[in-house]
Amino acid sequence: MADSARPLLILGTRTFAVEVADLACEIPGFSVAGFVENLDRQRCAQRLEGLPIYWVDELANLAQSHSAVCGLATTFRSRFTEQVAGYGMGFATLVHPSARLSSRSSLGQGSILSVGVIVASHTHLGSHVIVNRGALIGHHTQIGDFVTIHPGANVAGACRIGDATYIGMGAIVIDHIIIGSHSVVGAGAVVTKDVPDNVLVVGVPAKIVKENITGK
């Protein structure tokens, strides 16, 4: 990694944070400098992947020289990113070299496009969105902030997905579907009709099996 690469901190210290660090190492312009913990301060006495683990309060001294990206797959990661933003830390947007983001589409701050992701034209992804390995997103689709799209999911064209919704591994969302905020689409589900806010849907075709949830 070139000396000019900006130091990057991964928010989180669990397995997905390690995955994000590995991804970032393959993206020009970034050099992973460590991880950040905000729940268990004792973890900061250890190292992870040979790199330091910083306690979140230390970011006040690192905000001007480092960027951050969140390595939590849960849609509740907004709690961590808001805490970190309070220290003045900026967020990196990671697009793996093997991912394809249309030049006519856009991606918000702190978002991640992993290996083999394809985002078609005229699509907008919000801030702190995670699109995991091999997921496909169609044209003219709108995806809100803090959405998680897991490996192999396929979201068709002209769809709309609300904030902090979780699309499970291998799920399919057909075209022109609206999925509300803070909902969960189970792994392998096939969504053929609109989904309201705060529900869990599973199956083929997907049906509501739980209400009044707050994401995953």
- What are the catalytic residues? 139
**Both structure tokens of 186:** 């189970």
Query: Helix, strand or coil for residue 196?
Result: coil
CA dihedral of residues 157, 159, 162, 163 (deg, nearest 10): 10
- Element (H or E) spanning 55, and its range? strand 51-55
Give the integer Cα–Cα distance in Å for 35 and 24.
12
Q: How far apart are CA 12 and CA 35, in angstroms?
A: 6
**Residue (of 160, 197, 162, 202) closest to 177 by Cα position:** 160
> Residue 9 and residue 6: Cα distance in Å, rounded?
10
Which two tokens mark 29?
Answer: 């312009």
- Between the CA of residue 35 and those of 2, 22, 51, 99, 116, what are the distances in Å? 20, 12, 7, 24, 25
Which residues are CB-neighbours of 189 under 8 A, at least 6 positions away? 168, 171, 172, 201, 202, 203, 204, 206
